[in-house]
Amino acid sequence: MKLWLALMLAFSSQWAFANGLPVFSLQPTNESVLPGGTANLAISAMGTDGYQWRFDGTDIPGATNETLQISDVQITNTGYYVAIARNSTGWVPSQMAYLSINYDRGGAYPPIGGLVPLSNVGNTYVEGQIGYPWEAVQIVAGPELDQMQPLGLVLPYGDWLYNDFTNGYFDAPDQFVNTVAPGQNVYYSVLVTITDETGDTYTLPSTVMLLVAGGNDYPTPSNYGLKFPDSIEWPEPTLYESPATNQLVVAGETLSITDGYGAYNDFGIPTVQWRKDGKNIPGATNFSYSTFSFFGQSIFTITNLQTSDAGVYDAIIYGDLWEVSPKIYISVQASVQPTNEPAILENPSDNGSSFVCTLVGTPGKNYELQESSNLVNWVNLGTLANVTGTVTFSYSTNLFNLGNPQFYRTMLLP
């Protein structure tokens, strides 16, 4: 009997699943509810025999259904939620969803959320000023670094309570952040719109600060030390290298993830913190940096991968700016396929002109590679000789120029 595995590559997004691994058809989305409200997160996956919800990287006891309901939502419930779909073949993570509290009750109700400053009057040194003539300023803030959102108030020049055009000082009413409570941590930055000497206009961020939101009995925090761009080359560091956002691995393997950064940092060498499912991984702070080239790399390695390692991984780089790398979804196949079982296709990519992929299967066996656009009609592309058990192959195709999904499968030959 011929055995096969299908791999779907969607336009502008790559997904790889071993034969029999669950496939999500409904992903959870961010939720924001009023204090004491109820949040409902929903997922659905094909080919699964069970789910496990995680909160900030930790399994939630008994949360094994397609819908996760969180009642009487308080600050302690806010954070990242991920669902793992599993079966005998392996584990696959869903997308991450963030649950926040919306403190803006609207209407005649006064706001009860956190307050942050929109002023740099206290910054009396050069880094606290804006190096170019400025046109407008806007706050960006949120409960997590990847949950920061621009606030509604954008103040152009001339609307300030106090201003000095030459030095770029500004002072305006405190800004209301509806996703944090007074006394809660809030990530804070300022977007400045500037005009350079040629007349070109740019919108650039200030440095990022971690503050404690004001309001109620908490004073509005100070942003003294906030630094602004003095050139259009800002911001730094800049992410220039990151792996494919979806990784399919086999239990027992070793996986290394590399993020590369360019950073001419005036305030010290940048640092990195890797996360799983939104939670910091202890000790995962590897970062090598060249002061000669101003480029650095962070390599995160998982050895002897197990199904429990399935999840969502990213890294935060701390420098002049703080940046979150693209999220990497790691699915784990329980084990290498035994003799006469289907192969798996791993790490699909596009090198510019060809589809490149790795086949993991039975050593010494031959596999026929086939392609289809409809899962009905299949075209033979050739035979792969899998001498060692793993073979990487490429196939010239215009697949990535198409707007429709393409499917690939391998068939074990007798």
Per residue in 49-82, pLDDT tens? 999 999 999 999 999 999 999 999 999 999 999 9
Per residue in 369-408, pLDDT tens? 888 887 778 888 888 888 887 888 887 765 444 456 677 8
pLDDT of 246 > 90? The answer is no
* Pairing of the two strands 344-350 and 328-333: unpaired
219 preceded by a cis bond (ω within 30 of 0): no
Cross-strand partners of 332:
91, 249
- All residues at 6 or more sequence positions from 373 whose CB lies less than 8 Å from its CB, including other chains: 404, 405, 406, 407
What is the radius of gyration, based on Cα positions, of the chain?
25
pLDDT of 159 > 70? The answer is no
Task: State the DSSP code for 218.
Answer: B
Q: How far apart are CA 136 and CA 118, in angstroms?
A: 12
Encoded tokens for 335: 């084990």
Cβ distance 21 to 333 under 8 Å?
yes
3-state secondary structure (DSSP) of residue 283: coil
3-state secondary structure (DSSP) of residue 106: coil
Task: State the DSSP code for 306.
Answer: -
Per residue in 313-341, pLDDT tens? 999 988 878 889 999 999 998 865 555 56
- 222 CA to centre of own chain: 29
Encoded tokens for 14: 């790559």
Other Cβ atoms closer than 10 A to 10: 12
Q: For residue 140, what are the CA distances in angstroms to 67, 114, 127, 201?
A: 32, 13, 19, 19
pLDDT at site 109 = 65
